Amino acid sequence: MLRTKLASNSRSFLQRIHCDGALLLGLLVLMTVGLVTIYSAGGQDVGLIQRQFTRLALALGVMLVVAQIPPMAYQKLSVYFYVIGIAMLIAVLVIGVSSKGAQRWLDLGAFRFQPSEIMKLAVPMMVAWYISRFNLPPKTWHILIGFTLVALPTLLIARQPDLGTSLLIACSGVFALFLAGMSWRFISFVAIAASAFTPIMWIFLMKDYQKQRVLTFLNPESDPLGSGYHIIQSQIAIGSGGAQGKGWLQGTQSQLEFLPERHTDFIFAVFSEEFGFWGVVALLAIYAFIVIRGMLIAVKAQNAFSKILAGSITLTFFVYVFVNMGMVSGILPVVGVPLPLVSYGGTSMVTLLAGFGILMAISTQKRIMSRE
């Protein structure tokens, strides 16, 4: 009696704040795993945990705010977002602030800001808006325009240079086109074109340090103390964790600081070392749960724009997970992608949760269908 009442109350509360319960649960579990692992990886630094906690709270706040905005509004704002984003990317290349050989920031007086973060959401929104104006599946002509919409920010970000982000943004746009029903013939054409584009990219677009990353990835042992050090130490950490793991705070690779970037990009290695293979299976299950929930929201979404946007955000989220785990365990080259919601810090956390805010808005704010 009491239980049903509570349940209905809580559901109604979550609904009132436009929050998807299942999704929220998954995110909170991940964040908890993150805090626990950061505590171990960061040398049991409570200050680190406090800062991360604050950041998570802020990001959750942003998520809730975003969730209150009706999906229709996003649809209407897509074009402005996109145009402003592109303008800022051009501004970055002209008047941006450099750091570590890359020009990625806009100095807004009070804080620095990466316009590429906006594009992580603006690109799928723009593509979803454009493609959903037509009957689906889209015509080749529309697909080509869609690709142009994706290519423009991708190339601008690649020029900064920030190859990792540009590829992930390209992914989010391409996912939108794929979900919209891009024909298989076109998909195979794109695949062929992409593989043809690879050598061109290698020769003309990639900087030396980027090439070095790829070469190191192909053979990390060639420079075990230099550029290969990260990946070798990371694999040792993961492998020595075994099935059961060494136990929380017991990872020798992380506690004795052999592992670089322990609490940020390489936190997955710390997790694998301390919690073992079965821990990793559990962690992947949580991610899988979030992805499946996100796709379900997409399928149940009211219109094509929402469906495409929700699906793209979810798949892109998974790509982050895959790229991070892949690079840490040595099946992908090292690109600076954090493990979503687990790695310490980052403005990307806010963008990420803003994305989930949109998912929640799509999930919880449905108009009663009108025959129009």
Partner 1 sequence: MPSPRILIKDHSAEANLFARRTFIGLLVVFVMVSMVLSNLYYLQISRFEDYQTRADGNRIKVLPVAPNRGLIYDRNGILLAENRPVFSLQVIPEDIENLELTIKELSTLLEIDEEDVGDFYQDLKGNRRFKPVDLINRLTPKEVALFSAKQHKYPGVSVEARLARYYPYSNALTHVIGYVAKINKKDLQKLSEAGFEANYAATYDIGKRGIEKYHEEKLHGKVGFQEVEVNNQGRIIRILNFNPPAPGQDIVLNIDMNLQLEAEKAFAGKKGTVVAIDPKDGGVLALYSSPSYDPNLFVHGISSKNYKKLLTSDRPLFNRATQGQYPPASTIKPLLALAGLEEKVITPESRINDFGKYQLKNVERIWRDHNPWGHGWVDVTKAIEVSCDIFFYDMAYKLGIDRISESMSEFGFGDYTGIDLHEEADGIMPSRGIVKARFNRPWYIGDTINIGIGQSYWTATPVQLTQAIVTLVNKGKRIIPQIIRGNMQKDTVILEAIKERRPIAIKDEHNWDIVLDAMYGTVNRKGSARKAFKGAHYISAGKTGTAQLVTIAQDEKYDAEKLSKKNRDNAMYVGYAPYDNPQIAVTVVLENAGHGGAEAAPIARKMMDNYFRDQTFPEHKVIEYLGQDLESTEITQVESQP
3-state SS assignment for residue 152: helix
> Taking CB under 8 A as the rule, which mask of x and - marks residues 86-125 in contact with partner 1?
----------------------------------------
Site for partner 1 contains 75 (CB under 8 A): yes
We find the least distance from the C-beta atom of residue 240 to partner 1, in angstroms, to be 4
We find the least distance from the C-beta atom of residue 277 to partner 1, in angstroms, to be 4
Q: Are 146 and 129 in contact (CB under 8 A)?
A: no
Q: Tokens for 88?
A: 């800022």
We find the least distance from the C-beta atom of residue 166 to partner 1, in angstroms, to be 20
Site for partner 1 contains 330 (CB under 8 A): yes
Site for partner 1 contains 34 (CB under 8 A): no
225 phi/psi in degrees, rounded to 5: -100, -15
In Å, how far are 10, 101, 355 from 117, measured between CA atoms?
33, 19, 11
Q: Are 344 and 264 in contact (CB under 8 A)?
A: yes
Site for partner 1 contains 228 (CB under 8 A): no
Q: Are 77 and 121 in contact (CB under 8 A)?
A: no
We find the least distance from the C-beta atom of residue 62 to partner 1, in angstroms, to be 26
Of 6 and 191, nearer to partner 1 (C-beta) is 191
Site for partner 1 contains 186 (CB under 8 A): no
Site for partner 1 contains 363 (CB under 8 A): no
Q: Tokens for 103?
A: 């020009």
Count of residues that bind partner 1 according to CB under 8 A: 51
Of the candidates 28, 93, 97, 331, which one interacts with partner 1 according to CB under 8 A? 331
Of 50 and 250, nearer to partner 1 (C-beta) is 250
In Å, how far are 18, 77, 86, 268 from 4, measured between CA atoms?
20, 40, 50, 39
Helix, strand and coil in the chain, % to nearest 5: 70, 5, 25
Residues paired with 227 in a beta bridge: none
Amino acid at site 369: M
In Å, how far are 98, 99, 109, 130 from 112, measured between CA atoms?
11, 11, 7, 31
Of 19 and 238, nearer to partner 1 (C-beta) is 238
Of the candidates 21, 137, 336, 345, which one interacts with partner 1 according to CB under 8 A? 137
Of 17 and 281, nearer to partner 1 (C-beta) is 281
Q: Tokens for 199?
A: 């050598």
Range 279-318, binding partner 1 (CB under 8 A): 280-281, 284, 288, 291-292, 295, 298-299, 304, 307-308, 311, 315, 318
Of 263 and 307, nearer to partner 1 (C-beta) is 307
Of the candidates 11, 133, 211, 367, which one interacts with partner 1 according to CB under 8 A? 133
Of the candidates 242, 247, 250, 367, which one interacts with partner 1 according to CB under 8 A? 242
Residue with tokens 């007086």: 109
Of 54 and 135, nearer to partner 1 (C-beta) is 135
Of the candidates 186, 248, 289, 322, which one interacts with partner 1 according to CB under 8 A? 322
3-state SS assignment for residue 332: coil
In Å, how far are 52, 104, 142, 143, 316 from 173, measured between CA atoms?
30, 20, 13, 11, 9
Site for partner 1 contains 143 (CB under 8 A): no
DSSP states of 239-306: HHHTTT-S-TT--HHHHTT-STTTTTTTHHHHHHHHHHHHHHHHHHHHHHHHHHHHHHHHHH-SSHHH
- Which residues sit at the interface with partner 1, rule CB under 8 A? 75-76, 133-137, 175, 178-181, 233, 235-243, 252-253, 256-258, 272, 276-277, 280-281, 284, 288, 291-292, 295, 298-299, 304, 307-308, 311, 315, 318, 322, 325-326, 329-331
